Structures are given as structure tokens and as C-alpha cells.
Structure 1
């Protein structure tokens, strides 16, 4: 980075760190006065802003800015201003895009086609498996999976995407912190095979009011948002509603009427979200828009061929007929573990080969 560019970036960072300046005020200042350099060099020329803010502008924290620039010196670390050509195009379209993005990992992924997957921090086992399998299937189909590094559905989506593709984690802290702390290894894996991004400066600790702000970035980066499981009052619904406001697609997976974590998805569907039963539904909806290659969507023959190569899948398919059979009977008849049978049934259902029926029963659907 040249000295001039570094000086410009230092001013962008310094302006963000001035107390009282959020994204809206930052953009208002830029629209009226053009550049962070001018604003910081001429605080007395500003009009329409309160005196406390003007006073804060007279005393930027240049020492902290120097530390921020030192953070940049390690590989695969970036601070993007909204004027940077690498700044994600879709995010720039929302009403209040972050003036700055702190990035660690594969920065070019920010402009790849993305699908956000969000949901409960305390999902059911089925919900967690669904998030993982959808993310795996969609990442294998050419989409980057974006989520928030939270417990539950977010983590399952990141892991599913990492199993065969790329993922983006949008966090509500500075990039020098990992929250929750137990996701430190997951965050490390994402940096190696994806990217972590935040609008918040280094040193920012997790606070409840920061997570809704983070959510608009998750939806803003993405072509659409998929909600897997969500209660009626949850951050996932905030993300989905932000996606709607941003004119992005919203998808929701229905569930049992007896499951409280299905109620948020059902409400979204009533509000106009697209009901999703298979990951294929999403690829077909977004494929043309994103320019995904047709061959990434597996044909039934390819799926069947894949299963034939997997002995456990073939054993399960041999015991599945066109008459309903209970999952307990399948476990008994195949000799496979309950976890293995549940996981394989879910994947077969996502691929349209198996249909689930009330009472934990399953039937084959193909010929």
C-alpha cells in the first residue's frame, strides 16, 4: 500500500472511530463534504451537526488507527472502503451500507453469488442436519453460503458449505475477537476456506444491539436468505425481513405445526417467503439469476449412481419400498445406526428420492 493510499485509509478509519458516527451519519458527512480527509481537517466548517460530534471530530484517535493499520500487515487481511473496487456490489445497493468492511480471508468471495442461511441458535437435531445438508448441496451447486457464525443453524450451515465449497461469516465483533469463543476453530477453518467480515472496528466486543446491524449485511451480501428454523421472535426473522426490504429473495422451510421453531418459518411463508422443500428448489430459483452452470444440478440418474457407489445408501434403499415404513423398522432391518439412517433419509428427501410421512414413516418416490 502506498503512503498516500495508507493516509487516505487512515482517515476513513479515524472518521469511523469518532464517537457518535454510525453508518447513517458517516454517509451524510460524505455526501455533504466529499471525503474523510476534508471532514477531519475542517471540523469547524461543518454545519447541521451537533457541537459534541464536531468536538469529537477535532480529536481523532490516531494512535488506535495506527494499530488498525498494523493489523493489516498480515496476509489476507483487508479494510475496504465503500469506494474500493473490491467492495461487494450487492451490499452497496442496500439503503445503509457499511462505509468500511474489515475482512480476513479470500476477499474476492464477497462479490461471488451468495445465499444466506440463518436460523435458531438452539435448533432441533433435524433442523441442524437440514441446515448442514442444504448448505452442502448449495455450495456444491456453486453458491457461496453466508451466515453469522452463531451457534446452531449458522454453525451447521458454515460446516456444510466447508465440506465441499466456500462460506462467508459476517460477525458482530471486531475481527480480533471470536464470538462465541467455542467457534474459534470454525472461524479458523472459514478464514482458510472462505472469508470473515465485519463492519465493526477492531476491539469491538459483542453487544446485543450490534447483532441486528450485522444481520442487514448477511442479507445484503446475498441473492436470497433461507430460514431453516426460527421462533416467532428471533434474529433470523429480522434478517429475513431485512432481505425483503432489500428486494432479495426469502426462502423458508416448513415444519411440524407442533414445533415452536417452525412458527417463524410459517409466518414468513404467510408473508410471502417461498416455501422450500428441497435444495434443488433454491438452485432452480437462483440459478438463472446467478448464472450457475446447469451441470451443477444433479440429475436423478447421477444421484442414483452416486448412491450405488455408497454401500450404506444402497442398503437403506434396498429396505425402502413404496409402502410406508417406520424409521425404527428401517434402523432394525438395515443394522445401521439411528444417526446414519436419519442423515441419509434427510439427504434422500432433499434429492426427491424419499418422502417423509406423518408418524416418522418414509416411502420411496422414484421408479
Structure 2
């Protein structure tokens, strides 16, 4: 790689090289890092007699994709590479079986770690459906929640428009590279999102166009990053229901707006409600379900006000080391370089505040905290 292209650290560059191995599931890299105990840089540069599969993984690396990504990152100050170990990388994504090793982000990267709600639905939505999506999105954003969707026509576009009007703003997750807007009709909307302080996110390298299998991958990111998913108009067989099912599988909340029994685009919502999704008609029902007080959320976007004690706790290193699935106490202690006794004492305080819960085998971070 030409030295003039290097604007990131050696470990960030190593993550980028691993991500460029398009035919290798990211879990294989993560497993290798866990077994070897190496940094990403060392994993790629050191010989590994005990891990012969590493050479096979390394053979799949595509340097041209790496160079393309670096050129893209350097081409605009709004372009950012967020690697798996970055503080800007959403912890919630790490619950996925094979999470993205690198995210390509345009715009406000801090939104990735904000509290998010997904709003998704039909591309061929009714005018009423689009109005509902935009109004829900606006109210949720006014409460400090970031509205996340997939930049598609219909419900997605309406959700983004509402979200960027509030303090929580909006995130558009793409099924293409960050430089390839799909559908092309939404180029203007993408620009508006960035200008309004929102963010564009993709796991696909620059130059990558739309493929049918990209969109289920995009949907898993939307479902994983968000505390819950709201469905507004969807047919029974649709990508929207895939997103909702992914959210449910990840333990996230699923919400659905009811509608006419004679409308084909409300059948998916009614089916979700029958399966246990929460029927909602107001944003308050969503906020109450995810257990985040609106006034607390607004504090996230008011930098000159005094931060609440709960918010301060929610952003510190110890709490960040507790995952949304079971994390053993010795793992938490190791991540923070403290004794098990000290970790347990601190976690007890967090448990009393409702930020974590003690479970058999360790602790879990509570959703919405």
C-alpha cells in the first residue's frame, strides 16, 4: 500500500484487510483473534504455526478493495472508517454471529452509539402509511431517539425525513457501498440526511453496487443496532418481516401499527401482532416499552447541560464491558484490569440502578441502557 494513503492506525488497517476477504465470514477472523490472543496487526503479520488456517484466511484478502476504501476515506472529511475495535462501533452489533469488521460511515459517526429505533415498511406504502411513519419518526427523534432505516422508497424514506427533523436525527443503512446510492431517486434524500446531522452506514466497500443478497445483510444491521423495530405497512412475504424477525431473534422489541383488514399492506403488521409484536398507536407506547424516559434521552443532545448520573454511568468503561448477552464476571474484570471483587462491587451499584442484571453465569446489560 502506498504510504500516502495511510491515514489510519496499523490495527485499523488490519481490520480493513480482514474485511476485504469477501468470502470469509467475520466470525472466523474473530475466532482466530480470540484463540491466538493477537492484535489484528499481529494476526496478519506474524507466522502462526499453531493456527494453520490463518494462511488460508489471509489468501482471501483483496488489497484492491483496501486501497479503494482508503481513497474513499481520504476523499472527504465526512467519510469515516469505523473498525470493530473502535469506540464508535456499536456494541449491539457484536451480538451478531458474523458482525461487520468495518463500517463505512458518512456524516455524524456518534449516532452509531446513540439509542436507536428502526422504522421499516413497504416500498409501495400508502400515503397514510408514509404519513404515519414520518410522524412517528419525528416524535421519536424529538425524544432523543435516533431513527434508523434502510434508505428505500416508501416507509424508509418517510422515516428518514421525520427523523432528521428532531434532535435524535436519523441513520440510513445501505445495501451498497457508501458511494453508490440505491435507489438512485434517493440521492437528494441522502444529501439531506448528511446536512441535517444524520449518518449513512454501510458494511460494503466503496464501488460495490446493489445485489439481492445485500439487503438481508443490511436488514440484520438495522435490527441489531436498534433497541426495537417498528413496522408500518408490510405484506406477509416481504423484506420488512425479515427485519422484524431478525430483531425478535436478537431479543429486541418489535412494534407494529395496525390498519384496515382489507389492505394487503397491513397484513404483515397484523401477522406480527398475532406473533407477539406490540400493537402501537402512539410513540409514548414505544418509549415506555423500551424503558427510557424522554427527558433523559434529550440530555444526550444538549452538550452544555449537566449530564445525569445515570447517563454518566452508562457511558463508562466498566458498563461498556458488559455485553447484551451473558458476560462472565472474570471476563468483565479482565477487560477492566481490576480484581473480580472490585468488579462485583461496582456492578452491584449498576444493578441497583437497573443498568445491568445478574444472571447465572455472569451479568447482562439491560436493553435500552
Band of TM-score, shorter chain = 0.7 to 0.9
Measured after TM superposition, the shift of residue 46 of structure 1 is 6.8
- Aligned CA distance change for structure 1 residues 94 and 14 (closer, same or farther; 3 Å): closer
Classify the secondary structure of the residue corresponding to 1:218. Answer: helix
CA contact (8 A) 1:109 1:194 kept: yes
Classify the secondary structure of the residue corresponding to 2:98. Answer: coil
1: CA distance, partners of 2:7 / 2:183:
37
Residue of structure 2 equivalent to 1:162:
164
CA contact (8 A) 1:104 1:195 kept: yes
2: CA distance, partners of 1:216 / 1:59:
24
1: CA distance, partners of 2:93 / 2:19:
18
Classify the secondary structure of the residue corresponding to 2:140. Answer: helix
Measured after TM superposition, the shift of residue 48 of structure 1 is 7.0
The 5 A counterparts of 1:126-205 are: 126-165=128-167, 166-192=169-195, 193-205=197-209
Classify the secondary structure of the residue corresponding to 1:30. Answer: helix
The 5 A counterparts of 1:289-300 are: 289-293=291-295
Q: Which has the larger radius of gyration?
A: 1
Q: Deviations over 1:137-180 (max 9, x none)?
A: 11112211100001110001001112334000011111111111
1: CA distance, partners of 2:110 / 2:285:
27
- Aligned CA distance change for structure 1 residues 122 and 32 (closer, same or farther; 3 Å): same
Residue of structure 1 equivalent to 2:121:
119
Can you give the 5+ residue segments of structure 1 that lack an aligned partner in the other structure? Answer: 297-367
2: CA distance, partners of 1:47 / 1:199:
27
Measured after TM superposition, the shift of residue 4 of structure 1 is 9.3
Residue of structure 2 equivalent to 1:257:
261
- Aligned CA distance change for structure 1 residues 5 and 157 (closer, same or farther; 3 Å): closer
1: CA distance, partners of 2:248 / 2:52:
33
Measured after TM superposition, the shift of residue 79 of structure 1 is 1.1
Residue of structure 2 equivalent to 1:365:
none
- Aligned CA distance change for structure 1 residues 75 and 122 (closer, same or farther; 3 Å): same
Residue of structure 1 equivalent to 2:67:
66
- Aligned CA distance change for structure 1 residues 146 and 295 (closer, same or farther; 3 Å): closer
Measured after TM superposition, the shift of residue 95 of structure 1 is 3.6
Q: How many residues align?
A: 291
1: CA distance, partners of 2:12 / 2:27:
19
Q: Deviations over 1:269-328 (max 9, x none)?
A: 111100011222212323xx33420797xxxxxxxxxxxxxxxxxxxxxxxxxxxxxxxx
2: CA distance, partners of 1:132 / 1:290:
21
2: CA distance, partners of 1:144 / 1:93:
20
2: CA distance, partners of 1:187 / 1:132:
16
**RMSD in angstroms over aligned alpha carbons?**
2.5
Q: Choose from 25, 38, 42 the match for 1:38.
A: 42
CA contact (8 A) 2:15 2:84 kept: no
The 5 A counterparts of 1:1-367 are: 5-33=8-36, 34-42=38-46, 45=49, 47=51, 49=53, 54=55, 57-58=58-59, 60-73=61-74, 74-165=76-167, 166-192=169-195, 193-286=197-290, 289-293=291-295
Can you give the 5+ residue segments of structure 2 that lack an aligned partner in the other structure? Answer: 299-369
- Aligned CA distance change for structure 1 residues 162 and 42 (closer, same or farther; 3 Å): same
CA contact (8 A) 2:23 2:60 kept: no
Measured after TM superposition, the shift of residue 68 of structure 1 is 1.6
Please give the TM-score of this superposition, normalised by the length of structure 2: 0.73
Measured after TM superposition, the shift of residue 128 of structure 1 is 1.1
Measured after TM superposition, the shift of residue 5 of structure 1 is 4.9
2: CA distance, partners of 1:291 / 1:278:
15
Classify the secondary structure of the residue corresponding to 2:119. Answer: strand
2: CA distance, partners of 1:2 / 1:291:
45
Q: Deviations over 1:16-38 (max 9, x none)?
A: 11242133333233333334333
